[in-house]
Chain A
Amino acid sequence: VTLSAHATKQGPPQPAALDAPRAPHRHVRVIHIWDTVVSIEVRRPPAGVDITAALDDIAELLAHVDRTFSTFRPDSLVSALRRGERSEEEILWNPDGTAERDLADVLRLCRTARILSAGSFDPWAVPGGFDPAGLVKGWAAGRAIRLLGEHGIAHAMVNAGGDIATAGGTAPGIPWRIGIRDPLDPASILTVVELLDGAVATSGTYERGHHLHPNGPTHATQLLAATIVGTDPALTDALATAVALADRATAADITATTGYSILGVQTTHDPTHPRHPSANRTIDVWTTGPFPGRPLGQPCQDRTVAGGVPGPVHLAAQYRRLVA
């Protein structure tokens, strides 16, 4: 996501309105920040925990992340780094204060993600200099989970604009259920991932208005979306970005080195087709590693086979058949 200057822009009525829990054990807060939206859900806080104070702390954490990492703020630490006023080594080896320690953490994770993705994720290779936006959202979600833990909250989920970190399940032993959005249909869920503690991140070309081939049909195959299920939220976010920019082979390599599972949705078309490329395309869903996707019932009812519940592989076949 692009970090923007709209740090504390609050959306219309959501935050205050949604703090009123529908059930005593469930609390939701929605924070508009970084030109996207962060949803925080807390379950079963222990008695005596000031849930409002905890969620306020998360809001402050997110604002701090924006102040530190935004490339749109001239006064951010990352902006100073990009202008060459601060050196990376200085921040890595001699950080002073919370912001610099956080940036050092992000710098190390960016280096790790660059290696794990064989250079596909490279925040140093973008115009204008170092830009960690592809990793910071997941990193912030992970930090938010940790901060909630420090408040004594063991069951929480943070969804930072589509990149999710979870802790503790919704109750002891009951996983969070994360729907993976169908890149071709905002109202549909492709599959469901169950997580106690972990991270899910999706990167794709569909949400921010990119066309499949802005410069014409140069590739026969293009990823529409890549979803990674992992443990570290920051690396999961960065590697999802990497796979969406790369291909299935990169995904297989990342699964081999990290043990993270990856689900991809890609489109293949015939560039020689006389009409618009999308007129003759097929959609494929693939996974690397044992993707913990659950079969779908209701939302993709038209994609399930009567009498059987399909796993990801079968789901892929049906998806291809129905979309093509």
Chain B
Amino acid sequence: VKRPILFTAGTLAGLATVLVANASTRSPLLPGTANTTTTTAGTSPPSSSATPGVASRTPGTPTGRQTPGTPTGRHASTTSAARSAAPGSSTRTASTTTTATPTAPPGPTATAASNQAVDGQPVTIPYGVVQVRLIITGHTISDVQPLQLPNADGHSQNIAAMAVPLLRQQVLSAQSAQINGVSGATYTSDGYARSVQSALDAIGGHP
């Protein structure tokens, strides 16, 4: 029972890595820059795209939150399942809740207080379509939120509901252990995508 779930979590972690890298290609993770959404992390669920907490999205940016035809109701139900499976995560997110001014001028260093949400591109995996949002506080990822999860059937939903907390734990534990790298048996390129090292590389390492 454990193995397929870990695999799914690993796949998501790899996706998160690529998504972060993609996000940083489009724009550096600085406050007020186009394509990042300054928001109050943890207070606005991913499905509430019309809430006042989300602001200053650059028009024309391909973000899956606005992907047409996505059943928002499904988001909400899957997300709440994921959240209830990881009771500690909401506390962590809430503790970093700060509102930054969307119009803050870009600078060489981001202030530690500002949270930014970076939405990844939707990615198709064997279970369905996955899209995550990364909440970035300063230079680190403070939360990983699902925006779109496989919802084809009950089984996939169950897997996704358990995988997302694992993904969050993997990304966040790499940071909370304050490690700079991970030593392990030689991984393939594929294994790297599922590794904590890849998460560290994606966020530029632990400060």
Contacts and interface: CB of A to CB of B under 8 A. Distances in A.
B21 A13 contact: yes
A187 B169 contact: yes
Range, interface on chain B = 35 or more
A203 B204 contact: no
B182 A189 contact: yes
Contact of B196 (A1, A41, A189, A205): A189
Contacts of B10: 186-187
A201 to B, nearest CB: 7
B180 A41 contact: yes
Contacts of B169: 187
B76 interface: no
Given A36-B188, A37-B192, A177 B206 contact: yes
B105 interface: no
A62 B195 CA distance: 21
Given A18-B21, A18-B202, A24-B109, A159 B182 contact: yes
A178 interface: yes
A154 interface: no
Interface in A1-29: 1, 11-14, 16-18, 20-24, 26, 28
Interface in A149-186: 157, 159, 161-164, 170, 176-181, 183, 185-186
B177 interface: yes
Interface in B131-161: 139
Given A17-B22, A186-B194, A186-B196, A178 B179 contact: yes
A248 interface: no
A39 B197 contact: yes
Contacts of B13: 187
Contacts of A286: none
A137 B181 contact: no
Interface in B1-35: 6, 9-10, 13, 17-18, 21-22, 24-25, 28-29
B32 to A, nearest CB: 16
B186 A18 contact: no
Interface string A280-308: 00000000000000001111000000000
A112 interface: no
B188 A179 contact: no
A255 interface: no
Interface residues of A, number: 60
Nearest to A180: B183
A72 interface: no
B6 A186 contact: yes
Contact of A189 (B173, B202, B206): B173
A207 B29 contact: no
B189 A183 contact: no
A26 B186 CA distance: 25
Which 9 A/B pairs are nearest by Cβ-Cβ distance? Answer: A181-B184, A204-B185, A22-B204, A298-B176, A207-B185, A187-B170, A299-B173, A179-B179, A37-B192
13 contacts: A14-B21, A22-B139, A28-B205, A32-B189, A36-B186, A39-B197, A39-B201, A41-B201, A162-B187, A177-B180, A177-B206, A178-B180, A178-B182
Given A14-B201, A204-B184, A299-B173, 17 more contacts: A13-B21, A13-B22, A36-B188, A36-B189, A37-B187, A163-B186, A177-B206, A178-B182, A180-B183, A181-B196, A187-B166, A187-B173, A202-B183, A227-B183, A296-B177, A299-B176, A299-B177
